[in-house]
Structure 1
Amino acid sequence: MSERKLRLPEALIFDMDGTLFETDTLLVPVHHRVFETLREERLYEHETPPVERLLSCLGMLLEDIWRQVMPDSTEAARKRADVLLLQYELEGLASGEGELYPHVEATLRELKQRGMKLFVASNGLEDYVKGVARYKGIAELFDGLYSAGEYATASKVDLVARLLQDHGIQSAWMVGDRSSDVEAGKGNGLEAIGCAYATYGRAAELDGADALIGDFRELIKLLDT
């Protein structure tokens, strides 16, 4: 854990993938199912792209993800992939697939007990973000679950701005694992906490964060100092 002097926040805003949810525990089997179906439906003729390519795009908007993952695809294939990805993710969550990162639930509960307002701000689809929270038993801990899919925001900076305005939040920490999370914090005058335990991004993505944590429980230590 490393930090500069931080202001005590009234709220914590979390990214979902790579921050609260260990996405590859769900996404690896889903990825293969999506491309098997696309080939069966004659929408994609190539080999399944490496799942690492998809994981490295987490945090982007979905339309940008597919351009990176399958640049040689048609718009019809990308639109169908949107539908299949969500369908298979929700089926996987319903059957118990996917894991939160270690200590996430217990730490969120402690933060809630301390009177902290908790939010999610994700570039994912609404049903996916809410589905993860519901199936993993943490939905009731949050004061709001914000997603680019629900609010049609062009960037996470805009999404967090909407959240802050809706709830009258004056001070908060933005907690996430990607450069988009650091930008969302800085672009709204918030402190940014970088989650260095996630493996999806590159370490340089967290340049500019006010603090780095290697374990989710370190959020409690940051608040106490």
Structure 2
Amino acid sequence: MIQSFIFDMDGTLFQTDSILELALDDTFEHLRSIDKWNSATPIEMYREIMGVPLPIVWETLMPNHSMEERELADAYFLERLLEKIRNGNGALYPDVTEVFTYLTENSCSIYIASNGLIDYLEAIVNYYRLDRWVTEIFSIEHVESLNKSDLVRSIVQKYGITNGAVVGDRLSDINAAKDNGLLSIGCNFDFAREDELAQADVVIDDLIELKKIIHSES
């Protein structure tokens, strides 16, 4: 039986698309208003790289801008995201609370490992009261390498996890599981890619499927 579950946040627990495009558009509208951007919001480009750490996001979306300008965009974007989360504009994926309750009732520990920033993750956890089930939140800010495998390794080492699974929608989550000897569970949700999911040990279309997977061997 799997004893520990490490969840990604964006595109796995939290329906990021419910606030992402709004916050991104707000950010680039702000950049246009201060003459730091003169074209459309690169939403499609962001979708292509969804899930990577934010420093890489801004390097990709704003390759010809200075570090200072990228940091300006990053700070503004984060504020808009936090505002929308606290206003209740976001949403969890279906069955998150039911699954979390089931896992904890079956003596499983739950962790979150995300490429999101600490303030962002805490805003989601606090608004939806996920701390009722989650042992600890781990942000990519906690590892110097900005590598998801290293982040998951820090959880494994801290809590002595030997029989666990990583649940996420992107290749970085799948690789993080494999690199740490854990079961990789790919989520076929909004931002998932078929070629990446093909590398997962198990693929689910709904989190409720974890209620059966919990009793499998990792």
TM-score range relative to shorter protein:
over 0.9
Segments of structure 2 that go 5 or more residues without pairing to the other structure are: none
Residue of structure 2 equivalent to 1:3: none
Please, what TM-score do these two structures have when normalized by structure 1?
A: 0.91
What's the secondary structure of 2:207's corresponding residue?
Answer: coil
Q: CA shift at 1:137, angstroms?
A: 2.1
Indicate the residue corresponding to 2:196 in structure 1: 205
Q: By how many angstroms is 1:169 displaced?
A: 1.4
1-structure distance, mates of 2:201, 2:9: 19
> Residues 200, 69 of structure 1: CA spacing in aligned structure 2 closer, same or farther, 3 A cutoff?
farther
Please name the residue that 1:191 is paired with.
183
Tell me how far apart the structure 1 counterparts of residues 76 and 88 of structure 2 sit (CA, whole Å). Answer: 18
Task: Give the Cα separation in 2 of the matches to 1:129 and 1:55.
Answer: 19
What SS class does the counterpart of residue 217 from structure 1 fall into?
A: helix
Aligned match of 1:52: 44
Q: Which runs of 5+ in 1 are unaligned?
A: 1-7
The alignment partner of 2:137 has SS state of strand
Match in the other structure for 2:81: 89
2: CA distance, partners of 1:163 / 1:134 = 21
Instruction: State the 1:73 CA deviation.
Output: 3.0
C-alpha distance in 1 between matches for 2:70 and 2:207: 34
Q: Equivalent residue for 2:100?
A: 108
Cα-Cα RMSD: 1.5
Q: Does 1:99 align with 2:91?
A: yes
Alpha-carbon displacement from aligned partner over 1:48-70 (angstroms, at most 9, x marks no partner): 21x23223322211111122233
Of the candidates 43, 64, 71, which is equivalent to residue 79 of structure 1?
Answer: 71
| Residues 104-153 of structure 1: CA deviation (Å, up to 9, x unaligned) | 11111111111100000001111111111111221231111001124434
Per the alignment, residue 124 of structure 1 pairs with 116
Q: TM-score, normalised by structure 2?
A: 0.93
Between the aligned partners of 1:23 and 1:187, the Cα distance in structure 2 is: 26
Equivalent residue letter for 1:209: A
Q: Number of aligned residue pairs: give it.
A: 216
Pairing 1:223–2:214 present: yes
- CA distances 1:142-188 after superposition (whole Å, capped 9, x unpaired): 11100112443420000000111111212210100000000000011
SS at match of 2:214: helix
Moved over 6 A (4+): none
Corresponding residue of 1:5? none
Identity of aligned residues (%): 36
Is the 8 Å Cα contact of residues 140 and 148 (structure 2) preserved in structure 1? yes
- 2: distance between equivalents of 1:117 and 1:73? 43
Mapped to 2, the partners of 1:115 and 1:138 lie a distance apart of: 16
